[in-house]
Amino acid sequence: MDKQDECLSTFIKGVMLMVDFTAPQEVVDAISSIERFIEQEIEPLKKKYHYWLENERNFYDENGLYAKEIQEAMREVRMRSAKAGFYNMFGPPELGGMGDVFGPVAIAFIYEALMKKYGLDPLVMEIFPGGLFTGGLTPVLLGLHPEVKEEILPGVASGETLLCFGLSEPDAGSDVWNIKTTAVKDGDYWVINGTKQWISYAPYAQYAMIFAVTDPELVKQRKGGITCFLVPFDGKTCVTTSVIPILGHLGGRIGIISLENARVHEKYIIGDLHQGFGKALHGVDLGRIVMAATCIGVAQWALNKAIDYANERKTFGVTIGNHQAIQMMLADCAIEIYAARNMLLHCAWKMENQEKIPVKEISMVKAYSTEMAQRVIDRCMQIHGGMGLTNELKLEKAWRWARSQRVPDGTTEIQKRTIARRLLGGDRNF
């Protein structure tokens, strides 16, 4: 092969790599192993905890917390998943995870495949840490002091210890610079006071990653001044005061954290002092990829139900799939899922193959996939008529879940703000 042929061959290989949308073999194998794990390890748990899993009145206790049986079932899934090697498969290798093998592309394929097959099964969803960047071997923990790593990583990796990510507050959601929680230095310790709101897993976690103002002057100049601390829930100075049920649920997993003179040693700072938004937010992109892949998988799960129903249900002497109005809805669902799926894969590919983080593309994927999921599930409910509104098919639960995804990890409007700012700043290619 002469030099010119070699160049051409490299170019063709590059192009082929860019347009190859097949899942890598290790990902296909991982999906099969996880499905086997679900069959062998989770299905028996589902039978054991059927009473609590099947009815929302049993799923939550009178305070809106998961019933203790549900908490136990979830814990068992996490521990079994960790033992089987799944719980930490997307974590950074420096912490003992396998994120170097299973990066964003693998995340996209694996989450999509599982959600498509199992929908929003609460036990299947515990196989991986919630949110990925907020729990388990999250990249945020790369910023821990070595002694603290030694103290908490074994529990986190085994699925026993849960973490939560405490950034938002009553007066600071999109506008994170507006947080009011403060940390004041006292010798080798920091004393933290404030309230965190909407925090996923707060009612169940043992530690919270708490963002607090450590230098108000730097905050005013938007140059830093916010630090991330690992704070244990000690039942006195750092407590979850309540669960926030949303969208008609009888309970939930988001809560309010109250910090009253919580004292933590300076070694519990995550990342650098005053620069909490730097290292501590590292990994937020993965969370958005997970959210998008979950939305795409759940949308396919719903569409499959709608297709089956359209082929069975008869009105006016024919199956409803014969009515053009139903056909249009099915087609619109497929178009949107296909678009979201290809966007996600391309963005995940960019994350793995480009040096620069594809910031606006990640925002596009998060915004589009979450909005798409709600539109798709809504149509699928409509195709089911009255049945779609019952909780028997779990479509309405999926609709409520999809509705909630448009807010956390940056609302749709904030994602669009990011995209527009990048475009206006000269980042025009995608």
Residues that bind ligand FAD (CB under 6 A): 134, 164-168, 173-175, 198-200, 254, 404, 407-408, 411, 413-414, 417
Instruction: Choose between 30 and 270: whose C-beta lies nearer to ligand FAD.
Output: 270
Instruction: Choose between 134 and 300: whose C-beta lies nearer to ligand FAD.
Output: 134
Q: Provide, rounded to whole angstroms, the least separation between the CB of residue 373 and ligand FAD.
A: 14
Beta carbons of 312 and 129 less than 8 angstroms apart: no
Q: Provide, rounded to whole angstroms, the least separation between the CB of residue 196 and ligand FAD.
A: 7
Beta carbons of 301 and 119 less than 8 angstroms apart: yes
Q: Whole-angstrom Cα distance, residue 209 to residue 75?
A: 21
Q: Provide, rounded to whole angstroms, the least separation between the CB of residue 246 and ligand FAD.
A: 6
Q: Provide, rounded to whole angstroms, the least separation between the CB of residue 413 and ligand FAD.
A: 3
Beta carbons of 354 and 107 less than 8 angstroms apart: no
| SS3 track for 118-177 | HCCCCCHHHCCCCCCCCCCCCHHHHHCCHHHHHHHHHHHHHCCCCEEEECCECCECCCHH
Q: Provide, rounded to whole angstroms, the least separation between the CB of residue 258 and ligand FAD.
A: 15
Q: Could you give the angle at the alpha carbon of 422 between the alpha carbons of 420 and 426, nearest 5°?
A: 115
CA atoms within 13 A on the CB side of 125: 17
Task: Name the residue type at position 395.
Answer: L
Q: Could you give the angle at the alpha carbon of 119 between the alpha carbons of 63 and 378, nearest 5°?
A: 90
- Which residue from 28, 37, 44 is spatially nearest to 80, judged by alpha carbons? 37
Q: Provide, rounded to whole angstroms, the least separation between the CB of residue 148 and ligand FAD.
A: 21
Q: Whole-angstrom Cα distance, residue 378 to residue 302?
A: 9
Is beta strand 269-270 parallel, antiparallel or unpaired with respect to 226-232? antiparallel
Paired tokens of 250: 């009888």
Paired tokens of 330: 């099915």
Instruction: Choose between 134 and 214: whose C-beta lies nearer to ligand FAD.
Output: 134
- Which residue from 267, 164, 244 is spatially nearest to 211, judged by alpha carbons? 164
Q: Provide, rounded to whole angstroms, the least separation between the CB of residue 400 and ligand FAD.
A: 11
Q: Provide, rounded to whole angstroms, the least separation between the CB of residue 405 and ligand FAD.
A: 8
Q: Provide, rounded to whole angstroms, the least separation between the CB of residue 318 and ligand FAD.
A: 41
Q: Point out the residue whose Cβ comes nearest to ligand FAD.
A: 173
Neighbouring C-beta atoms of residue 93, cutoff 10 Å: 11
Is beta strand 182-186 parallel, antiparallel or unpaired with respect to 163-166? unpaired
Instruction: Choose between 145 and 417: whose C-beta lies nearer to ligand FAD.
Output: 417
Please state the φ and ψ torsions of residue 365, each to the nearest 5 degrees.
Answer: -65, -45
Q: Provide, rounded to whole angstroms, the least separation between the CB of residue 49 and ligand FAD.
A: 24
